[in-house]
Amino acid sequence: MTSQELLDHFKETPVLVVGDLMLDHYLWGDATRISPEAPVPVVAQVRDTYTAGGAANVAMNLAALGAPVELFGWTGRDRAGDILLDVLERNGIVYSSQWRSERIPTIEKTRVMVRQQQLCRIDREDHRDAYAFDSDACLKVLEKKIAAAKAVIVSDYAKGVVTEKLLSRLLEFREAGGCLIAVDPKPKRKLNVKGMDLITPNRDESLQMAGISIDPHDPFPETEVTQGIWEHYAPRHLVVTLGADGMLVCDEGKVAHRIPTVAREVFDVSGAGDTVIATLTLALAAGAAIEEAAHLANRAAGIAIGKLGTATVTPKEILDYEIQH
């Protein structure tokens, strides 16, 4: 099918996103002098901007592509949570207030930006165990929702929402409902993602998943990596993102397709992995073949990293890119 036909199908492809929700706060300013108190720049604040981060950014990418989206994960009953909910509502993302907690704060990342450069980042969060989303009550709601969804994306940012129990139960729900399950893994947590429909590790994550350690300057051992991941996890689809070197689309432990990057100018890679898994999953759930879905995701990621900050991509931007190239 054409890109236009595939993108049109996105409107009829509901997706659930489960994972670590965050508020991305950008503090913009200028620095023209050094503090007399310490050898650090003094930032004169000009403005603040807020957007959804973590799993919420995956949901934002899906919504920007036109898909109906529901989001699952914890936020606090605090100012950061209020701001995040407002961002989600304005973008048409369904999020139930029952997932707001009095006990734990909304995860918030504040980036201090000076002249388009990040000076520092301040993180606000609680202990990882506090965010687990695997209680019987949570899982019961997910089970009902999955019956009407075409796909579930598990977005693990290693903050605690995603657990072994959650992944195991999602696989059980898939057998009953037939939806696609995609995981953006964090290998350092050593969770079992065996048997998933799609996993999308980046270069470093894929090396960890395959149990391979190399020098940063060594060539990427794609054969050993893809075979190692297949032997350990046997995903239906494996797409390894390699930044400037594009993507590898793998089938049963072998590289089936190599897709070069389309990025021309890189402003900010934060959130690029969210764009990839959102576009890939949505395209597969809408009926695309894996190579077709990967090419679409690669174009979307190339557009996203040409923007500053965590960014989303619209169908019009993808179609305009194709016309121009």
Q: List the catalytic residues.
A: 274
Furthest-apart CA atoms within the chain: distance in Å: 64
Which run of H or of E encompasses 296?
helix 290-304
| Of the candidates 91, 121, 110, 113, the residue with the CA atom closest to the CA atom of residue 50 | 110
111 within 8 A of 22, measured Cβ to Cβ? no
How many CA atoms lie less than 13 Å away from 165 in the CB half-sphere? 10
Residue 32, exposed/middle/buried by CB under 10 A (0-12, 13-18, 19+)?
Answer: exposed
Find how far residue 287's CA is from the centre of its chain. 21
| Of the candidates 140, 108, 137, the residue with the CA atom closest to the CA atom of residue 124 | 108
Distance of alpha carbon 133 from alpha carbon 161, whole angstroms: 5
Question: Coil, strand or helix: which one is 324?
Answer: helix
Strand pairing of 237-241 and 247-251?
A: antiparallel
Residue 89, exposed/middle/buried by CB under 10 A (0-12, 13-18, 19+)?
Answer: exposed
69 within 8 A of 89, measured Cβ to Cβ? no
Find how far residue 255's CA is from the centre of its chain. 23
